[in-house]
Amino acid sequence: MKLIEIFLPLTDNKGRKLRKETYAETRRELIERFGGLTAYSRSPARGFWKEKGHTTRDEIVVFEVMTKRLERRWWRDYRRVLEKRFKQEEIVIRVFDCGTI
C-alpha cells in the first residue's frame, strides 16, 4: 500500500489567498480517482526552507490518499496540473510505503 501526501499552499506565489473552490476541485478529483481522501486543513501547517540566503515560509494544508499501486506518470502529470492551479513553481508530493492492520 502507498500513502501519498500532497502539500498545498494557502496562498499563491504573490501572497494572495487561494479560493476555496481550488481545494474543492482537487478534493473531488482525488476522491473520484482513489475512493477517499484525508485532508489536514483545520490548522494550517507551516513550511520553512532556505532560499537565496533567507528563510522562506509557507502555510499549507495536506491532502492524503492511499492506493495499492503508484502510477508515477499520472502523479507527475497531476503535479503539473496542481502547480498551475495553485500558481506555484513546485508542489511537493511525498510517497510512503504503508500497511494497514
The whole-number pLDDT of residue 50 equals 79
The string of pLDDT tens digits covering residues 18-51 is 999 999 999 999 999 999 999 997 666 766 767 7
pLDDT band for 15, please (50, 70, 90 cuts). Answer: confident
Q: Which domain holds residue 48?
A: 2-97
The string of pLDDT tens digits covering residues 55-91 is 777 789 999 999 999 999 999 999 999 999 999 989 9
The whole-number pLDDT of residue 75 equals 98
Domain count, the chain: 1
What the block records as the C-alpha cell of 11 is: 496562498
DSSP per-residue letters across 22-41: HHHHHHHHHHHHHS--EEEE
The whole-number pLDDT of residue 43 equals 64
CA pair distance 47, 60, nearest whole angstrom: 7
Q: Among all chains, which residue has been given the C-alpha cell 487561494?
A: 18
* pTM for the model: 0.85
Domain CATH number, residue 13: 3.30.70.120
